[in-house]
Amino acid sequence: MRLHREANRAWQLWMMERPLVLAMAAAALLVLARSAVFLWWEQAGFDSDQAIFGLMAKHMAEGRGYSVFIYGAPYMLGLQAWLAAPLFAVFGPSVAVLKVPVVLINVATSGLLVWILHRECGLRPFTALLASLFYVLAAPALAASLIETGGGNPEPFLYVLLLWLLRGRPLAFGVVFGIGFLHREFTLYGLTAIVGLALLNDPRVTAERLRAIALALVGYLIVWQVVRAGFLFSSPFGPGSTVAGPLGADQNVRALMERACWSAASAVPGVVGYFGDYLGVMFGADNHRLSELGIRSVLRTSLPGVPAFWSVLGLVFAAALGRVLWLSIRRREPPWRGQAAFGSFLLLVGLQAGVGYAVARCGVIEIGTARYALMSVYAGLGVVALFFIYEPRRQWRWLLTGVMLAWTLTSVIAHVRLAREYVYDEPLNSRRELATYLVTNGIRYARADYWTAYATTFLADERVVVASTDLVRINAYQDQVDAHPAEAVLVQTSPCGRAGGAEAVPGMYWVCPE
């Protein structure tokens, strides 16, 4: 009888949780679908920044050394390489294997979004999935960035969600923030959003809050000391390199400031420009060539016959947010409390990502640097979630549902078009062809620009060593090529001229005598 009761209880629990499990499973499948092209066809989105992490993982798998941070710079933790190294040891190095951990991070983030929107915001599971679609079924431009291994793009999406879940456990909060901030400083947006909402809810400074701050600081310092100690024994410029000195306490912040540009005069125009048209990139509502966003394709982000629709989608967001604010005032239910708090958190994270990007670049917003503002898409999720939380009228809820389904259709069509291009008219994999040419012709040493050098070396499995002629991240490659001047060639993207040489990849790469 007891066993029967337990079985009934388990069945009832499953029936209650089944819609949530199905919604989370659907989110995972959609993430895999929007990542498929970039996993199956390496040339769709792979460059030297990503190759550096692949080479780091390969060197760790082979026991040739390890680096705490990305090779060549004491910032951005090498987490993606650490996760890929065990897989390389088992399956061997490849672009697809390198990206598997990143895809799994996307899957975890999508599942957490659906789970939190259901558990904390009170949304039905499939409404929670609907509100998450801007991330779960991200348009190709954003989807490509979310499974890149070079810029720490997808992890902050997960870190800020973990910070939200751990906001009541300060020590663990500090540990996660330490890892997230040292990996990618955009994790800071999650911390500031949580602090801001807490102060709006209750501005008092209490002993409990001071204790929580102290514990969070302890957690952060634990991570910092572990990273600092690990750095002393690392090989920061590749195999055989050594650390010149200890890691400074302000290293991550200093690296961030060096890459930023501040100008009060350009701040407002930059923010206006960002929310004017640029934000549409994150939602696939713009009109750019996919090649401008690092995707090898002849397609554009907009669909044939469908103009850029960011102005329409932006107005929908503005109207939905205005409605939320009106209802919250009328009901005296502020959006920073109760079920609305998480939606406001997503909105604040997204707004910080957009405003921070525009302000920290002297107002110069470029399509090529959209990766610095990817979390802006969370603002859209926040608005949609808040609307479904507050709006009581069925007709208005159905209207926004219709907008979300229309957007979903455009994203699906965009992904299908990209997949169709690769199936029926596969773009040239020029770096793979270059690597094959060098290996087949017995060329062991070469020099090339940064964007050619490390990607080619990784694709050649280091059977060819290509030293960089500009930005250097692996010193051993420079030394090896310098030690074999008679054998080294120069790889360039223009004909060799009178010096002779050969066209290695038609119309793309030439191999010339040095």
pLDDT digits (tens, 9 = 90+) for 441-482: 999 999 999 999 999 999 999 999 999 999 999 999 999 999
What's the whole-model pTM score? 0.93
Instruction: Tell me if 146 sits within 8 A of 374, measured CB to CB.
Output: yes
Instruction: Report whether pLDDT(431) > 70.
Output: yes
Task: Band the pLDDT of 7: cuts 50, 70, 90.
Answer: low
Specify the pLDDT at position 260.
64
pLDDT band at residue 384, thresholds of 50, 70 and 90?
Answer: very high
In eight-state DSSP terms, residue 303 is P
Contacts for 349 with CB less than 8 Å, ≥ 6 apart: 160, 189, 190, 193, 375, 378, 379, 382
β pairing state of 465-468 and 445-448:
parallel
* pLDDT for residue 6: 56
User: What's the average model confidence in pLDDT over 371-394?
Assistant: 94
Burial of residue 304 (CB within 10 Å: 0-12, 13-18, 19+) is: exposed
Average pLDDT over residues 93-97: 95
Helix (H, G, I), strand (E, B) or coil at 432: helix
Mean pLDDT is lowest, of 87-101, 303-317, 362-376, 388-402, for 362-376
- Summarised one tens digit per residue, pLDDT across range 321-344 is 999 999 999 999 999 999 999 999
Name the percent of the chain lying above pLDDT 90. 71
Instruction: Tell me what pLDDT residue 249 has.
Output: 58
Tell me the per-residue pLDDT of 180-226, one tens digit each, with 9 for 90 and over. 999 999 999 999 999 999 999 989 889 999 999 999 999 999 999 99
Residue 121 pLDDT class (50, 70, 90 cuts): very high
Query: Do 133 and 117 form a contact (C-beta atoms < 8 A)?
Result: no
Three-class SS of residue 492?
strand
Residue 8 has pLDDT above 60, yes or no: no
Residue 250, pLDDT score: 59
Do 138 and 34 touch, CB atoms closer than 8 A?
Answer: yes
Provide the mean pLDDT of the chain.
Answer: 90
Quick: pLDDT tens for 490-499: 999 999 987 7
Q: Is 456 helix (H, G, I), strand (E, B) or coil?
A: helix
- Coil, strand or helix at 493: coil
Note whether 71 and 239 are within 8 A (CB): no
Q: How far apart are CA 384 and CA 115, in angstroms?
A: 16
Band of residue 271 on the pLDDT scale cut at 50, 70, 90: confident
Q: Quick one: pLDDT at residue 269? A: 77
Q: In the block, which residue shows the tokens 């961030």?
A: 256
